[in-house]
């Protein structure tokens, strides 16, 4: 570019000093000058277009990053508010139950009922704390899985029976567990998989609807599914539901409690067990969360 400017400068000088040269020589040099000026403007225009393209591309990327960070910040803020509420509710409820036992003379049956409610509140609190700790382990890439070959059918049946007995669910719970299915799995974290999927279904399902937990072996694959008859998940939301802090809908329309950690944890733990999780529409309404493990893990 500098060299081109110098050439143009010299040609201009030559044109100015040409007094005695022929007209043809002047025209030739003038044409050279015009040609070089044209090239110069082409170069300037090209560089300008490239510069403007880079500038707008940078602005777009910065705007996109800022928007993503803003959404994450909002989700984290909502998470903190949700966690605060989720922690306070079972603590306050359990405290009220115990105070009732302390201050009143109640029948043995009523005492058992109140104690059962208090235990359910502590179980709910324990589940929340476990999810937070699991999320922290995931963020720090801590490998804590200890997989052993075990009877998955019996394990899921036992965990579901414990969950159903510890809390009075308003839905009808159906267990379709095929017997005798073994797999290499970590008992502690697999418990989080099944309970988070089940709690998610119960949270979004109306009273008297049916939640079906199924386990079967098919085509050399082990298939675990949790189907509900709730409102379902819009197609445009399905790609986001496994993100941390993400919850379907917005804060104005969302009525259910939650932290946005459950499905994020489930997705991570399923991958750690070499599985794949997906969500489908149930018929006629609701959602089906399906987890598939290869039989080679047995």
Give whichever of 60-64, 194-198, 216-220, 232-236 has the largest mean pLDDT. Answer: 194-198
**CB count, 10 Å around CB of 127?**
19
pLDDT confidence of residue 258: 60
For residues 254 and 263, give the distance between their C-alpha atoms in angstroms, rounded to a whole number.
17
Percent with pLDDT over 90 in the chain: 25
Model pLDDT, residue 250: 47
**How high is the pLDDT of residue 220?**
84
- Residue 298, pLDDT above cutoff 50: no
pLDDT tens per residue across span 245-280? 776 654 433 455 566 788 888 999 999 899 999 999
- pLDDT tens digits along 12-59: 555 554 545 444 554 455 566 566 666 667 777 777 787 787 877 777
Tell me the per-residue pLDDT of 64-118, one tens digit each, with 9 for 90 and over. 777 776 666 665 665 565 666 667 777 888 888 888 888 888 888 888 888 888 8
In contact, 192 and 266? CB cutoff 8 Å: yes
Cα within 13 Å of Cα(74), Cβ side: 10
* pLDDT, averaged across the chain: 78
Radius of gyration of the CA atoms of the chain, in A? 34
* CATH code linked to domain 148-297: 3.30.565.10
The pLDDT score that the predictor gives to residue 293 is 93
Taking the C-alpha atoms of residue 197 and residue 227, their distance in angstroms, rounded to an integer, is 9
Question: In which band, very low, low, confident or very high, does the pLDDT at 2 lie, cut at 50, 70 and 90?
Answer: very low
Residue 163 in this model has a pLDDT that exceeds 50: yes
pLDDT at 9 over 70: no
């Amino acid at each position: 570019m500098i060299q081109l400017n110098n050439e143009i400068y010299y040609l201009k000088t030559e044109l100015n000093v040409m007094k005695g040269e022929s007209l043809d020589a002047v025209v030739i040099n003038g044409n050279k000058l015009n040609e070089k000026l044209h090239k110069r403007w082409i170069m300037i225009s090209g560089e300008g277009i490239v510069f403007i393209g880079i500038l707008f591309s940078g602005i777009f990327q910065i705007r996109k990053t800022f928007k993503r960070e803003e959404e994450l910040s909002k989700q984290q803020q909502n998470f903190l508010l949700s966690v605060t509420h989720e922690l306070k509710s079972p603590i306050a409820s359990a405290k009220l139950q115990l105070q009732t036992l302390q201050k009143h003379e109640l029948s043995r049956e009523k005492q058992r009922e109140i104690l059962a409610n208090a235990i359910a509140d502590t179980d709910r609190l324990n589940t929340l704390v476990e999810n937070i700790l699991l999320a922290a382990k995931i963020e720090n890439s801590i490998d804590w899985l200890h997989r052993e070959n075990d009877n998955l059918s019996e394990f899921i049946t036992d965990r579901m029976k414990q969950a159903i007995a510890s809390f009075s669910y308003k839905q009808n719970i159906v267990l379709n567990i095929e017997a005798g299915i073994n797999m290499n799995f970590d008992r502690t974290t697999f418990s989080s998989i099944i309970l988070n999927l089940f709690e998610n279904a119960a949270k979004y399902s109306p009273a008297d609807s049916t939640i079906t937990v199924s386990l079967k072996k098919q085509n050399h694959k082990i298939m675990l599914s949790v189907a509900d008859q709730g409102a379902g998940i819009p197609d445009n939301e399905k790609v986001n539901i496994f993100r941390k802090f993400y919850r379907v809908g917005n804060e104005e329309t969302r009525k259910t409690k939650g932290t946005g950690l459950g499905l994020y944890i489930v997705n991570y733990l399923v991958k750690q067990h070499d599985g794949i999780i997906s969500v489908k529409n149930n018929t006629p309404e609701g959602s089906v969360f399906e987890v598939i493990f290869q039989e080679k893990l047995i």
